[in-house]
């Protein structure tokens, strides 16, 4: 079971001991900071993700409700479970805090046992609600075989959603041994990514925040390169990373290697599956097998085929119309354009910003993405506290 993260802002040092005891009792990882709610207001503008649990101390504050409103106005998008500590008792204050989404208000002095029980109750409620992957926010790009251009397509679509459609997007490169997305965006490989997938107990939103790269304002990236690492990816760990990332991102794009061990689970959890294949007879066969699989397992959401490198071969080429006839899916063709693709890679420039024969094809595919009107708009308080 993964360990959830807790971030606490306390007004008094004497509260630290019982909070640490409660976190240890619930096997939660946490960080404790000084300064209470006002320190949290100062810090929150620098956050890009919020923790699963947030503890704020309003002791001594004359207008704590307005301070909470100010905190939320400045906070990054995402849902959290907010526990408030204070020195004032009263039904009116409790009702006001609950109305704006506070999970629990505890009047000091608070014991470790009481806080532990509150955390346990919230965890049980979360489990009952089922914190699974949200299909409307997950897009999978996968290939029928290595070398067909899956990563190029995935990076183009992730950039389009993040910077063209202005949606906060995480690109997750699951080719852990030979991933190239960090090279495409000219950032360092993600340190600790392999360890995170092999040890799911390390996954929490604070760890993700420190691990991911941000090549663009709205684009986060997790991409590793560890040849000969013989990585054994735990499918549950991949799910945890995706779910945790929703706290800071509206969409997750998964660059999924062909025949990945997690291919079935992740593909069937997405709102859209984009399959990339070469324009060959083998490409037709493999694409047909992949679509047969997802259809056979009840996948009723959106999927389409990208036939890449059209024109590279002079013989044995299958026309796009033949792909459509055999697979009965929408088909997009990308012309063979090695100069543009190579220059994009060398310059670490998104292919959508280049000039070349393939750029219009990539743009046409980007326009097909579900990035307009899909994410339900919430109020400021609703997006922070998840309507609790």
- So what's the pLDDT on residue 261? 56
> Does one domain contain both 83 and 182?
no
> Does one domain contain both 188 and 292?
yes
- So what's the pLDDT on residue 380? 42
Please indicate, yes or no, whether the overall pTM of this predicted structure exceeds 0.75.
Answer: no
> Does one domain contain both 202 and 118?
no
> Does one domain contain both 78 and 165?
no
Q: Distance between CA atoms of 48 and 46, rounded to whole angstroms? A: 7
- CB–CB of 200/2 below 8 Å? yes
- So what's the pLDDT on residue 123? 77
Q: Which helix (H) or strand (E) holds 225?
A: none
Tell me the residue length of the chain. Answer: 388
Query: 108, 131, 154: which is the final residue of a domain?
Result: 131
> Does one domain contain both 217 and 230?
yes
- So what's the pLDDT on residue 36? 93
For 93, 104, 109, 120, 165, the CA distances from 96, given in Å and listed in that order, are: 5, 11, 21, 23, 37
- So what's the pLDDT on residue 368? 92
Q: Distance between CA atoms of 293 and 334, rounded to whole angstroms? A: 24
> Does one domain contain both 117 and 256?
no
Tokens linked to 52: 């699963």
- CB–CB of 5/206 below 8 Å? yes
- So what's the pLDDT on residue 388? 39
Q: Which domain holds residue 39?
A: 5-131
Distance from the first to the final alpha carbon of the chain:
24
- CB–CB of 241/172 below 8 Å? yes
- So what's the pLDDT on residue 300? 63
- So what's the pLDDT on residue 63? 92
For residue 85, give the CATH number of its domain: 3.40.50.2300
For 52, 267, 288, 368, the CA distances from 140, given in Å and listed in that order, are: 25, 6, 17, 14
| Tally of domains in the chain | 2
pLDDT average per 10 residues of sequence, the chain (388 residues): 71 88 86 93 81 91 91 75 91 87 91 93 67 81 92 96 94 88 90 77 75 92 78 75 85 88 72 92 90 75 91 77 84 93 90 92 92 45 43
For residue 157, give the CATH number of its domain: 3.40.50.300
């Amino acid at each position: 079971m993964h360990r959830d993260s807790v971030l606490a802002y306390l007004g008094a040092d004497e509260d630290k001991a019982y909070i640490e005891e409660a976190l240890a009792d619930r096997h939660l990882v946490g960080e404790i900071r000084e300064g209470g709610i006002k320190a949290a207001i100062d810090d929150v503008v620098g956050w890009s993700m919020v923790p699963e649990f947030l503890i704020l101390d309003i002791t001594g504050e004359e207008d704590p409700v307005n301070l909470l409103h100010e905190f939320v106005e400045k906070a990054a998008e995402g849902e959290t479970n907010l526990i408030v500590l204070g020195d004032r008792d009263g039904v009116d204050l409790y009702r006001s805090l609950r109305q704006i989404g506070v999970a629990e208000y505890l009047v000091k002095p608070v014991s470790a046992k009481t806080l532990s029980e509150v955390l346990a109750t919230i965890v049980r409620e979360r489990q009952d609600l089922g914190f699974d992957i949200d299909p409307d926010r997950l897009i999978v790009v996968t290939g029928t075989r290595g070398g067909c251009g899956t990563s190029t397509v995935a990076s183009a679509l992730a950039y389009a959603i993040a910077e063209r459609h202005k949606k906060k997007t995480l690109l997750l490169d699951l080719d852990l041994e030979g991933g190239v997305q960090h090279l495409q965006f000219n950032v360092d490989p993600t340190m600790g990514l392999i360890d995170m997938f092999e040890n799911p107990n390390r996954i929490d939103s604070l760890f993700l925040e420190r691990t991911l790269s941000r090549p663009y304002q709205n684009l986060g990236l997790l991409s590793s390169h560890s040849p000969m690492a013989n990585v054994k990816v735990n499918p549950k760990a991949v799910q945890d990373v995706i779910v945790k990332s929703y706290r800071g991102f509206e969409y997750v794009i998964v660059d999924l290697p062909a025949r990945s061990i997690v291919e079935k689970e992740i593909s069937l959890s997405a709102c859209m599956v984009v399959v990339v294949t070469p324009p060959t007879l083998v490409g037709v066969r493999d694409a047909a097998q992949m679509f047969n699989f997802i259809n056979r397992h009840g996948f009723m959401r959106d999927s389409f085929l990208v036939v890449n490198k059209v024109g590279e071969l002079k013989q044995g080429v299958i026309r796009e119309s033949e792909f459509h006839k055999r697979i009965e899916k929408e088909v997009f063709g990308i012309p063979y354009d090695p100069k543009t693709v190579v220059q994009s890679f060398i310059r670490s420039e998104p292919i959508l910003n280049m000039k070349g024969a393939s750029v219009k094809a990539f743009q046409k595919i980007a326009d097909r993405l579900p990035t307009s009107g899909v994410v339900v708009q919430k109020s400021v308080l609703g997006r922070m506290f998840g309507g609790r």
